[in-house]
Amino acid sequence: MDSDSARHQVLSDPDSGSGSSATVDLDAVAHNVRVLLEYAGSAATMVVVKADGYNHGGTAVARAALAAGAQELGVTTVGEAVALRRAGITAPILSWLHRPDTDFVPAVVHGVELGLSSAPQVSAVAAAARTAERTADITLKIDTGLNRNGVAIGDLDEVFRILGSAVADGSVRLRGMFSHLACADVPGHPANDRQAQVLRDTVARASAAGLRPEVVHLANSAATLTRPDLHFDMVRPGIAVYGLSPIPELGGFGLRPVMTVSATIALVKKVRAGEGVSYGHTWTAERDTVVGLVPMGYADGVRRNLSGRFDVSIGGRRFSSVGRICMDQFMIDLGPDGGGVAEGDTAVLFGSGEGGGPLAQEWADSLDTIHYEVVTGIGGRARRRYIGGAGVEAASAAAESGPSKPDAVANGEVGR
């Protein structure tokens, strides 16, 4: 095939894209869940798969986490919860962020537990339960000091009154009460103890009003790993499931990063000393060198502010980004000898850190943000691929579509 027809084939096949991918290691998810179960001790574990599993694929992560022993799932919206049900997931799912016009009927019909933050939400869910002719499971979200979502303490009496009558007429069941910490990443912060005490006081007030939640929960990843005294009945880790430490200063807690972002080197070329590279010529070669083109850019989540401030790893060696990151591409300096890198080689942008490879945390440090934003920001043309989790995926594929094809499924690519 001559190079023109080869190029045509690439361009005419929308799936071949730019060769960039986000590889999600479902075995790492299972490992991290087992680590978290250990920390959780006697508390149950709800794995948070909001924002499409922190952009790792909510359904695949949910299956892997449940297979590894997690008991429940948490998401923000009813839409996310119903999508998990439609994928065949039967484990308890809690959804806790709703628009004023949310239709709760599908949630009730699908047996999704609703985390509610106001009296109007309780009324709306009770009405939806009557429409669906099913009891709705609800969990009150209590604002114990984050001052974000959740029932304000001043509104508790009204919420308890409306909830009390909905419980009495059988339209709702009070499954739980929960809250969310403002400063969990600083384990000794006094706000953590204050919030826990407000939660305990609120449970006592509910109890005095005849409302007894079956489960109480407060801890996110950071509190799961560092504040066993705040575990209550269940913990709700998110970021740790994806292998990223919620408190990097305290170490990795034995977690394994789940997402590896990589791309294929598209072009390798020589640049002479004194020549500028990429827009604005913000970087000039000090010596004759060789540069490589990585076909990912800010449209794929490689933030422009990272220009010249991060490395990629190719064959176990690190190479620096040079010049501006563009919409679809950036350049790396391979050194005068070209570093042994050839077109078609794979560059890892961040991943497991194995062999000294780059980590999402390094991007977070360079960007003055947190790794949560780094992994959720990868998108554009990067294709999501799953590795590991063979047993889980094969079993669920068999349940959904008859004959199981373990290899195809375990290593299957899912367009995104």
Ligand X SMILES: *Cc1c(COP(=O)(O)O)cnc(C)c1O
| Contacts of ligand X in 216-235 (CB under 6 A) | 220-221
Determine the distance from the C-alpha atom of residue 244 to the mean position of all C-alpha atoms in its chain, rounded to a whole number: 10
How does DSSP classify residue 1?
-
Cα-based distances in Å from 410 to 83, 207, 263, 350, 414: 21, 48, 21, 22, 11
Among 33, 40, 48, 68, binds ligand X (CB under 6 A): 48
Spatial neighbors of 3 by CB under 8 A, at least 6 apart, are: none
Among 19, 246, 301, 380, binds ligand X (CB under 6 A): 246
Cβ nearer to ligand X, comparing 48 with 312: 48
Contact criterion met (CB below 8 Å) for 178 and 200: no
Euclidean distance between CA atoms 207 and 201, whole angstroms: 10
Spatial neighbors of 401 by CB under 8 A, at least 6 apart, are: none
> What element of type H or E holds 397?
helix 390-401
CA atoms within 13 A on the CB side of 179: 28
Among 57, 58, 176, 237, binds ligand X (CB under 6 A): 237
Contact criterion met (CB below 8 Å) for 81 and 110: yes
Asked whether position 238 contacts ligand X by CB under 6 A, the answer is yes
Least separation in angstroms between residue 180's CB and ligand X is 4
Asked whether position 375 contacts ligand X by CB under 6 A, the answer is no
Cβ nearer to ligand X, comparing 75 with 261: 75
Least separation in angstroms between residue 246's CB and ligand X is 5
Least separation in angstroms between residue 70's CB and ligand X is 13
DSSP string, 294-345: ES--GGGT--GGGTTS-EEEETTEEEEEES---SS-EEEEEETTGGG--TT-
Least separation in angstroms between residue 236's CB and ligand X is 4
Total number of residues shown for the chain:
416
Q: How many residues bind ligand X (CB under 6 A)?
A: 11
Pull the structure tokens for residue 108. Answer: 């009730």
Write down the number of H helices and E strands in the chain.
14, 20
Select which of 50, 242, 298, 386 is catalytic.
50
Among 63, 180, 303, 385, binds ligand X (CB under 6 A): 180
Q: Which stretch binds ligand X (CB under 6 A): 125-133, 236-244, 343-351, 379-387?
A: 236-244
Cβ nearer to ligand X, comparing 96 with 310: 96
| Contacts of ligand X in 63-102 (CB under 6 A) | 96
For this structure, is 279 an active site residue? yes
Cα-based distances in Å from 111 to 133, 172, 311, 366: 12, 12, 46, 43
Residue nearest to ligand X (CB): 238
Select which of 39, 54, 141, 279 is catalytic.
279
For this structure, is 242 an active site residue? no
Pull the structure tokens for residue 64. Answer: 């892997």
Cβ nearer to ligand X, comparing 21 with 221: 221
Maximal C-alpha separation, the chain: 80
Note the residues at the interface with ligand X (CB under 6 A).
48, 50, 96, 180, 220-221, 236-239, 246
Catalytic positions: 50, 279
